[in-house]
Amino acid sequence: MTVIIDGKAVSKRIKDELKELVANKKAQGKTACLAVIQVGNDPASSVYVNNKKKACEYIGIGSKSYELKEETSQEELLSLIDSLNEDDDVSGILVQLPLPGHINEDTVIRRISPKKDVDGFHPMSVGALSIGEDGFVSCTPQGVIELLKRYDIEISGKECVVVGRSNIVGKPMAMLLLRENGTVTLCHSKTRDLKAVCKRADILVVAVGKPKLIDHEYVKEGAVVIDVGIHRMENGKLCGDVDYEDVYDLCSAITPVPGGVGPMTIAMLMKNCCKNL
């Protein structure tokens, strides 16, 4: 029987655990506060920012919100980040991406202090992950590991195939699976015979950004399939990078879309916000 990995339930459990932790720390006089910066008013970004603020409120983490005009200059944004880096009340800084075209995202990411880089995008955080040092880890791949662990899915020694090599999902995902002693293959658009490589996987993590790319021809019987992708179809429903119905019977466990990896991202952001409490 295929296990449906319930990211929504796990995310809720983690948020409740963090709520308890935050309350205990508060009693010792320790608090966390997330500064969220949004430039412009892209509706999707506004939804994400609001969800992050709501999660902070639920857990008991303070939040400071900076809604900057679309025309805000890069210098103005950098100077706000500088002041938040210096602000002892702020433990985490998040700049909602994407940024307007006139602002260089790399420059902005690099300006956030690695000590407050709760998104885990700073090159220092990425470097720490790759050499096994402590640091902030990108939330979505961290959420995938958390799901596997909470479902008692062994990673050590397993054939792990990650499809997609973006800096925010695919690459840190591969590093995290390696850290858990998986045998990791990282695939991308130039991978030859993707089907054959995926079919080797005990654990297949898909983050390609292509709706339903992965069907039964890519999945080994008994594999665990983790679908990071999220797309809105013409009928308004959401789907992932995996053709869920087509692979379901083959898998030992699978994440649905929605309700799989998605809710874990925000839970891991909250976990990162509490990291230095």
Query: What does the binding site for ligand NDP look like in residue numbers (CB under 6 A)?
Result: 140, 163-166, 168-170, 187-191, 194, 207-210, 213, 228-230, 241, 261-262, 265
Q: Give least dist CB 225 to ligand NDP, A.
A: 14
Residue (of 181, 178, 183) closest to 197 by Cα position: 183
Q: Measured from the CB atom, is 168 or 250 closer to ligand NDP?
A: 168
Q: Give least dist CB 8 to ligand NDP, A.
A: 12
d(CA 56, CA 225): 30
Q: Which residues of 181-192 are buried (b: 16+ CB within 10 A; e: fewer)?
A: ebbbbbbeeebe
Active site residues: 52, 96, 119
Q: Give least dist CB 200 to ligand NDP, A.
A: 15
Q: Measured from the CB atom, is 84 or 260 closer to ligand NDP?
A: 260
Q: Measured from the CB atom, is 31 or 45 closer to ligand NDP?
A: 45
Residue (of 217, 263, 265, 267) closest to 238 by Cα position: 263
Q: Measured from the CB atom, is 75 or 193 closer to ligand NDP?
A: 193
Q: Which secondary-structure segment (H or E) carries 94?
A: strand 92-95
d(CA 263, CA 143): 9
Parallel/antiparallel/unpaired status of strands 253-254 and 3-4: parallel
Residue (of 198, 203, 257) closest to 227 by Cα position: 257
Residue (of 200, 202, 195, 192) closest to 226 by Cα position: 202
Q: Give least dist CB 191 to ligand NDP, A.
A: 6
Asked if residue 93 lies in contact with residue 125, where contact means CB atoms within 8 angstroms, the answer is no
Asked if residue 212 lies in contact with residue 232, where contact means CB atoms within 8 angstroms, the answer is no
Q: Give least dist CB 169 to ligand NDP, A.
A: 4
Q: In angstroms, what CA-CA distances link 43 with 74, 96, 236, 269?
A: 21, 12, 17, 21
DSSP string, 18-41: HHHHHHHHHHTT---EEEEEEES-
Q: Give least dist CB 97 to ligand NDP, A.
A: 10
